[in-house]
Structure 1
Amino acid sequence: MIEPLTVYTLPNCMQCTMTTRALDAAGLPYSVIDLTTDERASDLMQQFSYTSAPVVVTRVVSCSGFRPDWIAKIAALRDHPSLASK
């Protein structure tokens, strides 16, 4: 099973909403961090040169913006035998 993703968001962000809806539809677990209320998270995103929200982070990769293609790939990996045993 895939570990929960972290989604860094902004209020009233359409791409953020579309991303969390796509993650819900794919059945992927995630936690949300609001970049306007978490200064440490905001600093981290700036440090990694992300300039737009949402930013979706897994244990090993991350992406920015609404990326349904990326969400589909993560969902396809969810039940992969090599991940299911971990």
Structure 2
Amino acid sequence: MNVTVYAKPHCPQCAATQRQLKRLGVDYREIDITQDEEALKKVLAAGFKQAPVVMTDHDAWSGYRPDKIKALVPSTPEALRAVAYSSVR
């Protein structure tokens, strides 16, 4: 699955989203919308006004959404343990 995080510097929700993705082992690509005008246009055209914007093959959302991030994790025993651990922290 392709996961792209459209983020900007000094954005606490962007940092939290990326931290959670890394913690759960979700591969993603980060695009800085302050440096990529085409990416910013894409995000705005999709109706988003808040960073980060996360786009996957089948979903898109803005802001820090731990529920959506956890849904990206496959249902393997290792992944389920990682999700449970991150929920406790």
Measured after TM superposition, the shift of residue 4 of structure 1 is: 3.4
Q: Give the corresponding residue for 1:10.
A: 8
Structure 2 alignment gaps of length 5 or more: 77-89
Determine which of 69, 72, 75 is the counterpart of 1:74.
72
Query: Is 2:52 the counterpart of 1:54?
Result: yes
The count of residues paired between Structure 1 and Structure 2 equals: 76
- Where does residue 25 of structure 1 map in the other structure? 23
Runs of 4 or more above 2 Å deviation: none
1:79, CA displacement in angstroms?
Answer: 4.6
Q: Which amino acid aligns with 1:12?
A: H
Question: Which residue is equivalent to 2:84?
Answer: none
SS of 1:21 mapped into structure 2: helix
SS at match of 1:43: helix
Give the structure 2 partner of residue 65 of structure 1: 63
Q: Give the whole-Å Cα distance in 1 for the aligned partners of 2:40 and 2:25.
A: 27
Higher relative contact order (CA 8 A, sep 6+): 1
Question: RMSD in angstroms over aligned alpha carbons?
Answer: 1.2
